[in-house]
Every structure is written in C-alpha cells, then in structure tokens.
C-alpha cells in the first residue's frame, strides 16, 4: 500500500487498519465467489493484512498469491494466515511490476486499493501487467468509489471520529483525497471516473465482463457510489 513514486500509505496506518476496515465486509463474499469460479492461480494485489485473501484461501482450499508494498501489513497477513491455517504466498512488491511464474485465473484488487496509485499512467502499468499475467479467459476484478461532490463538500476539512478519529481533505485540482488520522498518519487516494476505468481496460486489451454498482451485483446506475468491475482477458 506504499508506492515509492509518491507516498500514499503511511506505515503508521497499519496499526489502525482493522478499525478502519471493520465495516468493509460485503466485498469478501464477492471476491470469494469469483475465486471459487477460477480454475487456476489466485492473485490479490494490495493484499494488506489478508482481510480478503484469508477467506478466499479458506473457501477455495488453495493458496493465494498476495502482493503488497507495506512490510507492516504483510507481517500482519503472515501472522493471520498462520493462525487461520491457510496458505498465503506473500511478496513485498509493487503491483505495477507484477510478474508471475504461472498465468493466473483471477487477479483481484479489493478495497479501492488501485486509488492509491497517483496517476493514470501508474494504473495503466498495473492493467498491462495484469493482462500479461492472466491466462486466456482469466479475470481481473476490482472496486473503487465513484466520486460524489456532495459527500466531498460535506466531509472536506471536517473532523470525524468514526471509524477512527480522522480528517478528510480534498485536493480537487489533483483529484486527491488525503485521509489524515489524528496522530498524523496519512493515506492518499486519487479518484477516477468510469470512463478512465473503461479506458484502462481498453488499452490493456481486456474486455469488461460486468460493471456492478455494489457487491450484491446490483446494476450500476447514476446513483451508484461504487464501481465493482470484472474484466476478462
């Protein structure tokens, strides 16, 4: 979750990640479902502490290859996988440099982690590497929020206590959101539009299989606030 071309993830955040992610649970059965349909290697980008990878490994009975560039998060993932009795093949790596020994049946990137990449060019590198790493018919799935100016107006600069005390600041000219915890730890995200995601799919030579407005596979519409994409090679 730390990308060295721009610091977007403060390692200090790893100590509060469980609290921050506590309400994000709906994505787990979605990604587990895709993994159960995949006939081949499973790869999670920005695996974090194994929040999704461990349930995937448990449900499928197969190891999950997990990449992250945060040493602190990977250490948590190792400990949690051992406690759960599942196998994760964890790598300290930048998702923009994805390389696999064997083509994957499924690559997925949960919890809006692609938004930690600061530029469209960075995301293009990821999409191209994913496309090159998928077997024919393999899937790439990810989710990201759809930017809502009304929510941004309400939250910009306001101090929030839930799920952990923090302040959100918007840098509109840079399409950037900074989440700053009270202790100063910061996570930055750069939002993207639907057309930007579709452009990334296109330049990588993938095809959109589905775009949902949520993890229950509801249709994406004008009032949707989450992009849930499944693309196929």
Q: Please give the pLDDT value at position 8.
A: 75
Mean pLDDT per 10-residue segment, the chain (233 residues): 55 91 95 98 98 98 97 97 98 97 98 96 98 98 96 95 95 95 94 98 98 98 97 98
Structure-token match 């989450």, residue found: 226
User: How many Å apart are CA 207 and CA 210, to the nearest integer?
Assistant: 9
Q: Please give the pLDDT value at position 20.
A: 92
Q: Please give the pLDDT value at position 92.
A: 97
Q: Please give the pLDDT value at position 160.
A: 95
Q: Which of 219, 205, 222, 204 is nearest to 114 (CA)?
A: 204
Q: Please give the pLDDT value at position 4.
A: 43
Furthest-apart CA pair in the chain: how many Å?
A: 47
- Specify the pTM: 0.95
Query: In angstroms, what CA-CA distances link 9 with 2, 24, 48, 165?
Result: 5, 18, 11, 17
Q: Please give the pLDDT value at position 7.
A: 52
Domains of the chain: 11-145+192-232 (3.40.50.150)
């Amino acid at each position: 979750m730390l990308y060295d071309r721009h610091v977007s993830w403060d390692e200090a955040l790893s100590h509060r990640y469980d609290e921050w992610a506590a309400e994000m649970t709906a994505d787990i059965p979605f990604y587990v479902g895709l993994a159960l349909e995949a006939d081949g290697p499973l790869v999670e980008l920005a695996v974090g502490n194994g929040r999704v990878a461990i349930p995937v490994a448990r449900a499928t009975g197969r190891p999950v290859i997990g990449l992250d560039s945060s040493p602190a998060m990977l250490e948590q993932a190792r400990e949690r996988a051992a406690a759960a009795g599942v196998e994760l093949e964890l790598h300290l790596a930048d998702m923009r440099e994805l390389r696999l020994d064997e083509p994957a049946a499924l690559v997925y990137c949960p919890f809006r982690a692609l938004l930690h990449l600061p530029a469209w060019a960075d995301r293009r590198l990821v999409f191209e590497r994913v496309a090159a790493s998928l077997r024919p018919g393999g899937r790439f799935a990810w989710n990201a929020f759809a930017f809502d100016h009304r929510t941004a107006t309400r939250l910009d600069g306001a101090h929030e206590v839930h799920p952990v005390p923090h302040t959100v600041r918007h840098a509109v000219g840079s399409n950037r959101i900074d989440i700053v915890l009270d202790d100063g730890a910061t996570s930055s995200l750069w939002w993207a539009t639907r057309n930007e995601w579709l452009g990334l799919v296109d330049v990588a030579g993938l095809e959109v299989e589905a775009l949902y407005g949520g993890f229950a596979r509801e249709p994406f519409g004008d009032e949707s606030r989450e992009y849930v994409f499944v693309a196929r090679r």
